[in-house]
Structure 1
């Protein structure tokens, strides 16, 4: 996780967790990681064993552990730093008693990946992995002449000395040297995020020509555990359609069995009837062969019934498997730009008052409804 992604991930998590009570908190030793979730939101897992620490949606037991009763006061990422800092508070047990405060620091710094939970006195309550070093000064913003020199030489080393830049973002800047100053100034201004998939990874901005829009910087659940599905070939697609057809034809199995049973009651007749009316009034077309007796037709219908019953027992699972494979392939980050991309919902506008209050403002009627009925906490001030 680079510093720019950490900054925008903190923004997203702040909007998701701020003011909400912790419902899930787990520190994992092997492999190292931390899982946290609040009431009303899906838990997020940070896999500290990965080289590129990322946030992934995760299922987890609803146990808050050390953070039982705590509420998230805010999530932030220091300027140009690869760590997330969560401020938490637990109300006093009795009226008038002091609240307890805690800080959870999650570090994605390559040489110091870990998570540390400490109380308001700085004492460690729980930790996993390494402890991050003290905060340092952020790198300076690059000057126009530095950017121009890097564009002329194609040297990304100069860019990596600038604020917010990682090798990936540096390469992106160099892909269009004529716009390098404009691109960098836009990043440094920290505009609203535009999450996008590039080469199977999530970034806060589209960094490739064939980027695909995303709605979040949090990876889908089990994204890294699932093998990349192969595109279903035509043979599998034809098999899927054939099985669907067979299953749809099996819905008359009850009527066929009842018709076969009734044919056996008239097996002494010479020729089977072309159709039969069942006691419920349903008419079943029998399509007898020329000169076929009722008994012979009944035996043929029984065989057809057994075949359809096997289809009912076996085909649904096989159809689901093929459909899951096809859907999994279709939902993978595309390598081609989707021209009809679904427009992403923009985040709420956020401000901070002079008194330190976080202020959220919706961007329209639909956004205000989302803010009012989905994101707000009971003790929010309106």
Structure 2
């Protein structure tokens, strides 16, 4: 969508007619999405600066979000400097000083910007894009208008004779358009070609109508032009361009935006909140894929059981301290059996039985986990569709998202004190991001019965394995959390790392202890190999 002075002048009049005298409650800037919501008591005005979705949208009144900036004031009017691409919303505070406040929206090519100013000197208090150069725009400095172009017809009509003098010798090509643009106010790349295609008298008449609309001397006739760049709102039809009449410029802007596929409907949901939803959706998708893969590749528990039976039956043929042995099974065939050389034959048999039991538990649990993960993913996908359609509020979206899907507190994008992983059994693992954040993870982002882990006797990350059940967590999930603890410690390059674990409720913080230093009780220890490939496999996002 392109903007020129006649379009913005007409838009300023439309907004002034609709909102003059309205009481403003707050403004809600969204710097990531380059947009601003003005929360009036009567309506909400959404201003979008991003070139791909620029526009102004008048929506139903909505409650300002928690991060909105209060600005209790009354709209005195909406204006635009003559022959320029700037909208100025002028407010008078109902309380507080200074009394004057202006919201300036610049749609100058390559200088799209939004500036909130205070006082008669228009000191910038909020700036979307800091600018330097001949007209700097910086917070704490006065905002000033660009130097006027002073093209002919800016302040009043131009005679037909003068129009003929300039336009009569011009060709409709690039040079002709350039000469027209440099001479007469209200001309722009949107209308210059159309004006030059007409004979001088008809071109002058159309240009005069355009100037009268821009100066507020006559009402616009809003249309949607069908241009080579798509639908374009405009305050009147242009010769040679297909067009469709519209009820208002605001309706034309919304229709043009919708036709471009930017959004099914303008939304007040912060971009950072939608990013949270997208990350949550991707996390759920990855979890579905991971669980389905696990379900498809569940090993045969009967084979593990049979190997345990074979080890016990051929106990005398199993040497101590070997990694594998070849045994004769009950049908007389030779079977190679892998062993843990640190365990006795009885303990190796027991490990096989434990593995068989674990596989059976997983086979029983995985179908339910897959169904649960699919349901959660479908619900999140439906929520995203509703957000695209403008059929969900920011508060509803916040309440539907788990705190672990957010990038920080509120919508500021500040990181959580931990990274998230998902174990092979579907349990969430949280790994601290540093000594100060370790404390935050351990004492503010975990439950008393969660499993707390830390590599023994070395500096490293606190790790929390979410476990809201009685008894110990599954051995494989515990081992995977221990591997992450080892990888997050200074022992990450060791071949084997001892990792202590206990319930989080048995972890204490000594008085005056430095960040990250805690005292765990009732500690048990597992030995793991810090394999970096496992960290990649378990990433939740």
Which whole-Å deviations, capped at 9, do the CAs of 1:278-309 have from their partners, x for residues lacking one?
xxxxxxxxxxxxxxxxxxxxxxxxxxxxxxxx
Maintained 8 Å contact 2:73/2:93: yes
Between Structure 1 and Structure 2, whose CA radius of gyration is higher? 2
Q: Which has the higher contact order (CA 8 A, sep 6+)?
A: 1
Which of 209, 220, 225 is matched with 2:254 structurally? 220
Distance 1:153 1:20 in 2: 46
* Cross-structure match for 1:146: 166
* Cross-structure match for 2:207: 184
Distance 1:81 1:89 in 2: 24
Unaligned runs of 5+ in 2: 131-136, 138-142, 265-388, 390-541
Distance 2:116 2:148 in 1: 23
* Cross-structure match for 1:110: 109
Which whole-Å deviations, capped at 9, do the CAs of 1:181-218 have from their partners, x for residues lacking one?
11112222222111001122211111255311111222
CA gap 1:193/1:67 in 2 versus in 1, 3 angstroms: farther
Maintained 8 Å contact 1:51/1:110: no
Task: Output aligned runs, 1:142-221, within 5 Å.
Answer: 143-144=162-163, 145-150=165-170, 155-161=176-182, 162-178=184-200, 179-190=202-213, 191-199=218-226, 200-207=231-238, 208-218=240-250, 219-220=253-254
Unaligned runs of 5+ in 1: 228-327, 329-382
Distance 1:91 1:10 in 2: 23
Task: Output aligned runs, 1:127-146, within 5 Å.
Answer: 127-130=127-130, 131=137, 134-138=145-149, 139-141=151-153, 143-144=162-163, 145-146=165-166
Maintained 8 Å contact 1:151/1:177: no
Maintained 8 Å contact 2:22/2:40: yes
Maintained 8 Å contact 2:102/2:118: yes
CA gap 1:153/1:126 in 2 versus in 1, 3 angstroms: closer
Q: CA-atom RMSD, angstroms?
A: 3.0
Which of 67, 73, 76 is matched with 1:70 structurally? 73
Distance 2:37 2:152 in 1: 33
Name the TM-score, length of structure 1 as normaliser.
0.52
1:137 Cα deviation after fit: 1.9
Give the secondary structure class of the aligned counterpart of 2:179.
helix
Q: Aligned residues, how many?
A: 224
Distance 1:225 1:197 in 2: 17
Name the TM-score, length of structure 2 as normaliser.
0.38
Maintained 8 Å contact 1:57/1:220: no
